[in-house]
Amino acid sequence: MARPIWGKAVAYALPKIEEASLKGKRVLLRADLNVTFQPGTTEIADDSRINAIVPTVDLLRAKGARIVLCSHLGRPKGKVVADMRIEPVRARLSAMMGIDVTYAGGPVGAETLNAVNGLQDGDVAMLENLRFDPGEEANSGEFSHSLASLADVYVNDAFGASHRSHASIVGVAEVLPACAGLLMRSEIAALERAVGSDERPAVVVLGGAKVADKLGVVENLAPAADAVLVGGGMISAMLASQGHNVGSVDLSAEELRAAASLLDNAEISKKLRLPIDVVVAGEFSANSTSIEVSVDAIPKLGYVLDIGRKTATEFVGIISSAKKVIWNGPMGLFEWPMFAKGTEEVASAIASNVDAFKLAGGGSTVEAINALGISDKLTHVSTGGGASLEYLEGKTLPGISALMRG
């Protein structure tokens, strides 16, 4: 199984805030506050990423630091976009912590530097959306140095963005003394355990839209796993590659190749647990009529939108005896109640297994966890999304490498 080049126990080797002298110093704290909003509004739908940064902010304040908090939000592509301003995030953090997180503008410039220089020990200011400046995603030296000029020390607590070679992730770490935040270290420690521990039986639960998106994860984790349970949008491509009819879904050549590559790999295919029955909707609609059928009896028209009851029972049994569970992706289109049953049963089984180490991650997975209210039943719920996936694939994350260089 491939591992990132920094090896085991990197969470304990990273430079720590606790060991740094920060009183009176300006600290540029990079967080991942890329929250989701209610459709068509600036009302925050999920503030878990904001809540996750609070312990690091509290620690920095207790140490007397002057905190300059920064994050990206959405994909403005180097331009100022009104509905991607950082203000809703700043307001929510202020309310959450009971302090006045001031707005420093920018994200760079003379006015921002003046605002930052006016901070007192324990104060917190927030920069405007980093991606409003094209230098962020380009990792430009000029933008990196402009950000670095706002601080004496850099702290990266944005694990969810650390798979990006951006200025605020990599560039600043090359200029300032750098530390890892509390969230960053907890994320890495949990992922190290997920990838590297010998706890058995080990079960990987994978859903989501595309096999191609999870191909690297399966290839990296399957050799050390006892079972890989497959659900979600991945079902259709996997079944089609086995010769089953999968209804109306239009599968790309890339998806079919990815599915075939897993099924043709003898070591991996013996670990795969594919559905034996599925829920098929007549139309791709939340209110469509549906039927539950064996995978051998999927109609020529319709959409596979959930695992069936027999499959859920099989998956629950496997999960219940596991000592390690890695979960990424729902079992069906759980946002639509009619097709949420498989995800609910699998999630309940994971939550109920009190003896296992349980790591979950991915945007839609976290949404399901929050909707079901089971986050406190899991060992670790990653805020990482794409960063978690790349770590589970065995890739090296640029943001972590930048901290290790320090």
Task: For residue range 278-332, list pLDDT tens digits in order.
Answer: 999 999 999 999 999 999 999 999 999 999 999 999 999 999 999 999 999 999 9
205 and 179 belong to one structural domain: no
174 and 275 assigned to the same domain? no
Mean pLDDT of the chain: 93
d(CA 16, CA 18): 5
Tell me which H or E stretch contains 359: strand 357-360
Answer yes or no: is 383 within a domain. Answer: no
Is residue 308 part of the annotated active site? The answer reads no
User: Per-residue DSSP letters for 196-223?
Assistant: H---SSEEEEE-SS-HHHHHHHHHHHGG
Q: Are residues 316 and 401 in the same domain?
A: no
Neighbouring CB atoms inside 10 A of 270's CB total: 10
Instruction: Look up the CATH number of the domain holding residue 297.
Output: 3.40.50.1260
C-alpha–C-alpha distance, residues 107 and 123, integer Å:
18
Per the CB < 8 A criterion, the answer to whether 224 and 382 are in contact is no
Domain annotation covers residue 371: no
Annotated active-site residue in 386, 394, 395, 406: 386
Residues linked to residue 124 through DSSP beta bridges, in sequence order: 67
Task: Give the model's pLDDT for residue 384.
Answer: 85
Same domain, 176 and 209: no
Q: Which of 85, 210, 214, 358 is catalytic?
A: 210
At how many degrees (to 10) do helices 211-221 and 234-241 cross? 80
Distance CA 14, CA 34 (A): 24
Do 302 and 232 have their domain in common?
Answer: yes
Is 64 part of the annotated catalytic residue set?
no
Instruction: Determine which helix (DSSP H) or strand (DSSP E) holds 73, and give its type and residue range.
Output: none
207 is catalytic: no
What six digits make up the tokens of 263?
Answer: 């099924």
Please tell me which residue in 25, 26, 49, 63 is annotated as part of the active site. 49
Let me know: does 306 contact 286? Beta carbons within 8 Å: no
Helix-then-strand count for the chain, H and E: 16, 17
Residue 49 annotated to the active site = yes
Q: What is the pLDDT of residues 212-251, one digit of tens each?
A: 989 999 999 999 999 999 999 999 999 999 999 999 999 9
Which of 74, 282, 363, 406 is an active site residue? 363
CB 385 within 8 A of CB 163: no
pTM of the shown model: 0.89
Number of domains in the chain: 2
For the residues 44-71, what does the mean pLDDT come to?
95
At residue 11, the pLDDT reads 63
318 in the same domain as 223: yes
Same domain, 42 and 159: yes
In this structure, the answer to whether residues 245 and 176 fall within a common structural domain is no
Note whether 42 and 83 are within 8 A (CB): yes
Share of the chain above pLDDT 70, in %: 97
Query: What range does the domain containing 332 cover?
Result: 200-355
